[in-house]
A and B are shown apart, each in its own frame.
Chain A
Amino acid sequence: MTAPDTQAVTDLAGVEPLLAQLRGGDRSGSVRATTLNLVVHAPTAEDVNAVADALTMIAGSRPLRALVVTPSGGEARATVTSSCWLGDGGQEVCSEQVVIEAEPQALPSAVVGLLVPDLPVFLLWMGGIDGGRPLLDELAELVTRVIVDSDACGLEAAIALASSSVAVSDIAWARLQPWREALAMLADAPAGLEAFRHSIGIEVRGPENEALLLAGWLRSRLDRQLGVEQSGRGRAVERVGVHSGGHELVVERSGRGELGHATGVDGVARPVVLPRHEFSRLLGAELDQLGADRVFEQALSAAS
């Protein structure tokens, strides 16, 4: 990445001209490519830094305009950054980031004026939801999809949000993808699927939130009631067992690495890869999906 260009303005009307200036004044003959808008609710400086780090990892392959909003008490002000990445052929891919601080009620209007027209809009909501619900509702009206992390906002809040008309996705759910993939693999064989169809419970060593999501997923996919037991205090899932009659179908991480094994009804433990994806990769994957994630919505609905 080339060194980002950053400038601050106190008049939000000055943001767009400043972005044009940072792009090099839209030199004649230049063509700018932007694929999406990303609105980020970042209530703390730590959140702003975290999202800035994530954007440096993902924005090169998804040229975007990020509008990072931070509710504050003072007058509206913005910091504008244009970051460019050099491709193998020396070509530049640029993304823009505007950090806006303003009173909560002023933020939606600030966002509306700065969205790149006619492109998908995602809202990444960092932190809890409760206190910010009015702002979330207003921003949600502008966007294609809301991305939350139910580990941060709580599963109940995510369920409540999903029950409104907005499409929702969840970073915590995305973290479970390798585990769902490994469990699905065990159901590829007819005997494995039969065992899942007669399963009675799931036991998860890992965060409660993820345990509930996995249980909701199995309930909704298999259309049956399953009990759920959660253990462990770690921040990541370490083991999942599905009980079915005399069988336990197991996916388990081996040590601290990314390797694990999956054991099906034949009792043979086969190697599986259980990567611990970083936030930036998970967010990037969410931005690649434009439609609603029906499987997640059904899992969420069945999770509680």
Chain B
Amino acid sequence: MSVKEKRPPHENPLRAGLRVGGASVPTVFVIFGASGDLAQRKLLPAIYNLAVRGLLPPRFAVVGYARTEMTDEEYRNFAKAAIESHSRTPIDEHFWPAFAGLLRYQPGGFDDDAHFHALAEMLERVDAEHGTEGNRVYYLSTPSSFFPVIVQRMGAAKLNRPPGFARVVIEKPFGHDLESAQELAEIVHRPFKERQIYRIDHYLGKETVQNIFAFRFANAIFEPVWNNSYVDHVQITVAESIGVEHRAQFYEETGVVRDIVQNHLLQVLALVAMEPPAAFDADPVRDEKTKLLRAMRPMTFENTVRGQYAKGYVTGAPADAYTEEPGVPAGSTTATFVAAKLEIDNWRWAGTPFYVRAGKRLAKRVTEIAVQFRRPPHLPFAADAAEHLEANSLVLRIQPDEGISLRFGAKAPTPTLSIRSVNMDFQYGSSFLADVPEAYETLILDAIRGDGTLFTRQDGVERSWEICDPLLEQWLSGQPQLYEAGSWGPDAADELLSRDGRRWRRP
């Protein structure tokens, strides 16, 4: 992502030309919930990998804050164990002492002013020891129910007004519906301004999601046909082969629309359909994404299918029904699958539907965007020469096997003219066998650099809820349609497209 670091008011000529790509402004990174699952699995390994790659500021420190009683040394051991278990690169014992020296820990509760004041005092000491100049990035790595109390206590302890900058990173869910999203925003906006808030959606940190930007806006040949004159429809699939696993309680409260559609799926759709931003900077990109979401009609009962997985087989192994999963109440009506037809009322996309589907326990794990082009207006071949010719399609595969496929017609090597569809397949991994950073590395680095391009703005969050809320209200009654685990969803999902004379692509 572009570097949008807030530099000191004076210009440092020695910084010119340094090929860093990382952050340089001194910063303390404060993790609330520092002993929790997310910190162990994602945050600490991501910070370690950034350090190993030389991308952290030269003056940097991490302060963990959680209810668990630990000393600095114990937290360093805790972090080392977490990194050993979850880092994509193994611990370098030569480098570890330098990294461990950056880690500090302050025990404390989330609803106790005295503990927050103690944290503030500790941060001042860290500033003095590490030269971090009062610049802070706060990462709320706690269940979202703690966000309101944490930000209120932060405000009371003046953690929102350090000598340098203050940014706060919050994890989804950003509310449960429009109303709760606005309530949360109102609470967070008391101590922090919108530009200080970084709402993280880890999907946007994936290299291949960012590659959508590059594909669309770094190539001149695709954008002229990227509209309703040439595109018949677009299909977006976010399929998981796993079930709810140990997250039954969470899933019962969310369901597939809140878990996937309101955030990941609409964000990816926005990247595919938005207008080119004037610059690849936070506000121009987020302005265009929000404009696109504003042009999208809210989801309706008539244009959607909801499903819930029943017993079946996934990749050869038997899979229980959703209602048989541990923690799921019998008779649950929670949707684990949704298919929807989304329509965008703007000049570029009017009349070109976007069909989306997302679900658990589907045939395989895949996330892809398939742009289905219109057929040629006239085929100057004998009827039987091109009878099996499919329309052109362009598929952007997000995961796994990241890449791009283009389907086009080619002459088959036969004595008579015969046109067949062929796929030209580009695998991202066959061009760059790079050490691809984890999404959290990208997003944490961006937060430290002050680049909000890949983070979600409140107006975008609210518009996403406006799109999903009508459907969620309608879904309060009725039953989801059952689908066999290991299939591609209920039959009604196929009918959703077949009534428009179309069919789902098989990913």
Contacts and interface: CB of A to CB of B under 8 A. Distances in A.
Same complex for A and B? Answer yes
B351 interface: no
B329 interface: no
Interface in A167-216: 177-178, 180-185, 187-190, 193, 196
Interface residues of A, number: 48
B14 A183 contact: yes
A270 B14 contact: no
A258 B95 contact: yes
A293 interface: yes
Contacts of B347: none
Contact of A188 (B24, B97, B401): B24
Q: By CB atoms of chain A within 10 A, which of B94, B400, B430 has the most? A: B430
A91 B59 CA distance: 39
Contacts of A85: 433
A54 to B, nearest CB: 16
B230 interface: no
Contact of B429 (A87, A177, A187, A262): A87
Contact of B58 (A181, A257, A275): A181
A279 interface: no
A102 to B, nearest CB: 31
B98 A273 contact: yes
A196 B430 contact: no
Contacts of B10: 190, 193
Interface in A73-100: 85, 87-89, 91-93
A273 B101 CA distance: 12
A221 B13 contact: yes
Interface residues of B, number: 40
Contact of B16 (A91, A221, A275): A221
A270 B19 CA distance: 22
Given A31-B425, A63-B431, A295-B16, A185 B97 contact: no
A285 interface: yes
A271 B95 CA distance: 12
A93 B8 contact: no
A295 B426 CA distance: 37
B470 interface: no
Nearest to B94: A257
Contacts of B401: 89, 91
A93 B425 contact: no
B391 interface: no
Interface string B38-63: 00000000000000001000110000
A35 interface: yes
Given A188-B8, A262-B58, A273-B54, A93 B14 contact: no
A293 B17 contact: yes
Interface string B425-439: 111011111110000
A33 interface: yes
B148 interface: no
5 contacts: A185-B59, A187-B15, A222-B14, A273-B95, A296-B17
Instruction: Give the 6 A-B CB pairs with smallest separation, nearest first.
Output: A295-B17, A33-B431, A184-B14, A60-B433, A93-B433, A61-B434
Interface of A: 29, 31, 33, 35, 60-63, 85, 87-89, 91-93, 177-178, 180-185, 187-190, 193, 196, 218, 221-222, 257-259, 262, 268, 270-273, 275, 285, 289, 293-296
